[in-house]
Amino acid sequence: MQTVTLTPKRSPTISIEAEMITPDAFAGKSAAEIGAIGAWEGNEEITLADIFDVAVDGSGDAADTKIIIDGDVPRVKRIGEAMTAGEIVVKGDVDMRCGALMSGGSITVEGDADSWVGREMTGGEILVKGNAAYYAGGGYRGETCGMRGGKLTIEGDVLDYLGEHMCGGEILVKGNARLLPGVLNWSGTITIEGDTTLPGGEMKSGTIFVKGKVLEMLPSYKDEGTEEVDGVMYRKYIGDLSRNGEGVLYVSV
């Protein structure tokens, strides 16, 4: 078992591209080796040691590596990008695209996550204990397939376009979701325990559960009566008919 602790040394104002903060990249490396890994701060090339105190305890492969970021890193982007195994725990906020393209392992963000958390993830689990911003579990700009697998849980609220272009996997939001969750979806399951607005716009297929209120409903959904799922009674809708969609939207009654 290898534990890598990164303690933030300063609060950068310009975003830092740090896609190499993964168990895959850190496994088996010493503190000095990890500190020497390059990153970009704006257009300046820096090293991880410029922004973190690095401590390493033990050694292991990626699956056996745990990274602890011991504090807020609201300007550090792409933490855990494309990770395949292991664990990351951030004891604070993260910047955009945390866990993008990840295929395995787990990430826990104890604070808030900025936009595109879990973008195009194919496996593994992400837990955000605070809020997440736009496009949580969404796609890359221009692509037509977003999150494909794995599980993304957000205990707080999310902003617009949750699970945009989702192609698979599971999203759970315990708070509210703002506009258009599940927009342009192909597959996968989204559960929103709080309220939301205009869910499932242009959804082709896939499933959305809303346990709170739908503040505004799209007119292009067909009412299919009520249905009980896991002991909860829902009103069931099929759509989005504007795209000949066969998605299923359950709204708590």
Residue 238 CB, nearest distance to other proteins (Å)? 18
Can you spell out the DSSP letters for 190-218?
Answer: EEESS-BBSTTTT--S-EEEESS-BSS--
The residue within the footprint of other proteins, chosen from 129, 174, 211, 243 (CB under 8 A), is: 243
The residues with which 106 forms a beta bridge, in sequence order, are 87, 125
Are 101 and 128 a contacting pair, CB within 8 Å? no
Q: How many residues bind other proteins (CB under 8 A)?
A: 7
Q: Which is nearer to other proteins, 174 or 243 (CB)?
A: 243
Select the span of 91-99, 141-149, 150-158, 192-200 touching other proteins (CB under 8 A): 141-149
The residue within the footprint of other proteins, chosen from 1, 13, 141, 231 (CB under 8 A), is: 141
168-179 residues labelled b (16+ CB within 10 A) or e (exposed): bbbbbbbbbbbb
Does the footprint of other proteins cover residue 140 (CB under 8 A)?
Answer: yes
Residue 17 CB, nearest distance to other proteins (Å)? 13
Q: Which is nearer to other proteins, 18 or 54 (CB)?
A: 18
For 160, phi then psi, to 5°, come to -75, 165
Does the footprint of other proteins cover residue 142 (CB under 8 A)?
Answer: yes
Strand, coil or helix: what is 21? coil
Annotate each residue in 190-219 with x if it binds other proteins (CB under 8 A) or - if it does not, as one string.
--------------x---------------
Strand, coil or helix: what is 39? strand
Strand, coil or helix: what is 43? coil
- Residues near 41 by beta carbon (within 8 Å), at least 6 away in sequence: 12, 14, 15, 16, 50, 51
Closest CA to 2 of 27, 22, 20: 27
Select the span of 14-22, 32-40, 48-56, 136-144 touching other proteins (CB under 8 A): 136-144
Select the span of 109-117, 140-148, 157-165, 187-195 touching other proteins (CB under 8 A): 140-148
Does the footprint of other proteins cover residue 40 (CB under 8 A)?
Answer: no
Select the span of 64-72, 78-86, 123-131, 137-145 touching other proteins (CB under 8 A): 137-145
Q: Which is nearer to other proteins, 30 or 144 (CB)?
A: 144
Residue entry with tokens 């020497």: 36
Question: Where do contacts with other proteins occur on this chain (CB under 8 A)?
Answer: 140-144, 204, 243
